[in-house]
Amino acid sequence: MAKYIFVTGGVTSSLGKGIIAASLAKLLQARGFKVTIQKFDPYINVDPGTLNPYEHGECYVTEDGAETDLDLGHYERFLNTYTSQANNVTTGRIYQTVINKERAGEFLGKTVQVVPHITDEIKRRMLLLGKDGKFDIVITEIGGTVGDIESLPFIEAVRQIQWELPDDDVVVVHLTLIPYLKAAKELKTKPTQHSVKMLSETGVHPDVIVCRTEEPLNNDIRRKIGLFCNVKPDAVIEAMDASTIYEVPLLMLREKLDVICMRKLGISVYPEPDLEKWKGFLDKLKYPKSKVTIGLIGKYIELQDAYKSILESFIHAGAINEAKVQVVNVHSEFITDENVGEKLSGLDGLLVAPGFGHRGTEGKIIAVQFAREQGLPFFGICLGMQMAVIEYARNVLGIKDAHSTEMEPDTANPVINMMEEQKKIKMMGGTMRLGAYPCDITKGSLAEKIYGTTQITERHRHRYEFNNDYLEQFEANGLKASGVNVDTGLVEIVEIPTHPFFIGVQYHPELKSTVERPAPLFVSFIAAAKKYNETKSNLISSLLQKETV
């Protein structure tokens, strides 16, 4: 049986529970424990797959094709291990299971209630990953803020687990905010006291309090929080704002968050954490030797969470290239033939982002054309790849009305088409082509150079595909399909061999990029952008030299 750590949040949302959970997990993993993290979300959607990115940020897809909360992305990026369907549970999924059981007659004769039926199902799922010996420690992040009506059944389940399991099998970590009042020059503990009181009223008492703060907590404040919230002063942990989320594990190590959790878990013998690789990455991240500017062309750019995994992948790839990646967000809806040169000037590479629906697609197509014609490194992901195919069809093959049936269902030239198996699907939730699929890469292609192999698997989330009726025409005219799923014939990668770096992928390589295993496509894209930047700088300096001569 595994041991369990629960992470709750108080005072406000967006305190970074996911990062604290992931950092704690990282430290325990670095000390040799097998750790996993799961997230329980209080909303009624069965999963976040049907949510607009504006609502909930990016939808993160696991190997086994679950559409999940973006915090699972942090868990994978920190731990360098895969999560699965079981690692993200919503109220909707809990109710769906219980209601399906009720319909099947499993509770025959009984009134089905929140307690015990809903809470039993929550408990079953909370304990599940710790059952088969695969993990020593299971960390569960409870979404939402303590005091929300909708998270009550989850908190009640934690209370019951705390009561049922031996004392040293469960730790509750509560993350709160200690606001700093500038006028009074004071840190305020009252909101934390209230939130711990509220948590205690439900019967759950935190063992550790992690305090998000802009100013350091002195010993008096720690004592005060400890005294009023009834935890030991050394179990009051300071979580200062960090310059990068990847610094947080080291901050938590300094505060002994892992040691205090292990003490409560009755673990007294443990090795020093092995964080060599992590620190190596941080060094490179903090002291880059060069800088590249990448344009991120998307339509959800107002909300950074919408492209979370892409932005994190840039950080991983930048570090390994010892380059700072500055991302310039360009709203695709406002790119026109007239302003494209100005909007995309000064960039060293262009990433056209994934997306759904018509809005902003014409701007993406114009951006692709610019990158293709200017020899600017180009990287298209999912919809970004589809836009590259449409652009090539229109401007190189001369098929002026080429389109995707997603945007124009009656187009005469559907170079991007709905996948056959998608045509009969009516239900929206969890019905896209999801999760990991293998892809065979052509020998000698750019893709092979990037991956260093001809066999890969990558994760998907889409309904449309490259239309193979046009494949010959594309290939004869310079756009090659260099990656194909051999079972289905679906084109997964396209590239232009005559361009310095032009690649589009139907899958989402950003979902597999971690600190210790940066996604090869991002690494090579940043390397190409670096080269572009150097060539550009050399050109400018030789022009300047000529002028001065």
Q: Which secondary structure element, helix H or strand E, spans residue 381, and what is its range?
A: strand 378-381
What's the DSSP call for residue 59?
Answer: P
Cβ proximity to ligand GLN: between 144 and 414 the closer is 414
DSSP letters, 262-296, are: HHHTT----PPP--HHHHHHHHHHHS-SEEEEEEE
Shortest Cβ 508–ligand GLN spacing (Å): 7
Cβ proximity to ligand GLN: between 34 and 463 the closer is 463
The residue annotated as part of the active site, out of 382, 439, 492, 495, is 382
Cβ proximity to ligand GLN: between 217 and 390 the closer is 390
Cβ proximity to ligand GLN: between 266 and 357 the closer is 357
The residue annotated as part of the active site, out of 316, 460, 462, 508, is 508
**Nearest by Cα to 505 from 520, 515, 486, 518:** 520
Q: Is 117 a catalytic residue?
A: no
Shortest Cβ 462–ligand GLN spacing (Å): 3
Shortest Cβ 198–ligand GLN spacing (Å): 39
Cβ proximity to ligand GLN: between 40 and 378 the closer is 378
Cβ proximity to ligand GLN: between 73 and 206 the closer is 73
Cβ proximity to ligand GLN: between 10 and 354 the closer is 354
Cβ proximity to ligand GLN: between 326 and 431 the closer is 431
**Nearest by Cα to 204 from 270, 158, 169:** 158
DSSP letters, 71-114, are: HHHHHHHHH-S---GGGEEEHHHHHHHHHHHHHTTTTTTSPP-I
Residues lying near ligand GLN in the complex (CB under 6 A) are found at 354-356, 382-383, 406, 461-464
Shortest Cβ 389–ligand GLN spacing (Å): 11
**Nearest by Cα to 408 from 352, 464, 468:** 464
Shortest Cβ 439–ligand GLN spacing (Å): 16
Q: Is 261 a catalytic residue?
A: no
Distance from C-alpha of 387 to C-alpha of 393, rounded to nearest angstrom: 10
Q: How far is CA 143 from the centre of its chain?
A: 16
Distance from C-alpha of 168 to C-alpha of 430, rounded to nearest angstrom: 38
In whole angstroms, how far apart are CA 269 and each of 209, 265, 468, 484? 23, 11, 59, 50
Sign (positive/negative) of CA torsion 539, 540, 544, 547? positive
**Nearest by Cα to 101 from 85, 84, 82, 124:** 124
User: Left (φ > 0), alpha (ψ -120 to 50) or beta: where does 504 sit?
Assistant: beta
CB contact at 8 A, 305 and 57: yes
Shortest Cβ 50–ligand GLN spacing (Å): 13
Shortest Cβ 453–ligand GLN spacing (Å): 24
Distance from C-alpha of 346 to C-alpha of 292, rounded to nearest angstrom: 10
Task: Compute the half-sphere exposure of residue 366: CA atoms within 13 Å on the CB side of its CA.
Answer: 20
Which residues are paired to 408 by β-bridges?
A: none
Shortest Cβ 394–ligand GLN spacing (Å): 18
Sign (positive/negative) of CA torsion 321, 323, 324, 329? negative
Phi, psi torsion values for 480, nearest 5 degrees:
-100, 145
Cβ proximity to ligand GLN: between 258 and 510 the closer is 510
Distance from C-alpha of 360 to C-alpha of 358, rounded to nearest angstrom: 6
Using only C-alpha atoms, the chain has a radius of gyration, in whole angstroms, of 25
Shortest Cβ 380–ligand GLN spacing (Å): 10
Q: Is 510 a catalytic residue?
A: yes
Residues labelled as active-site residues: 382, 508, 510
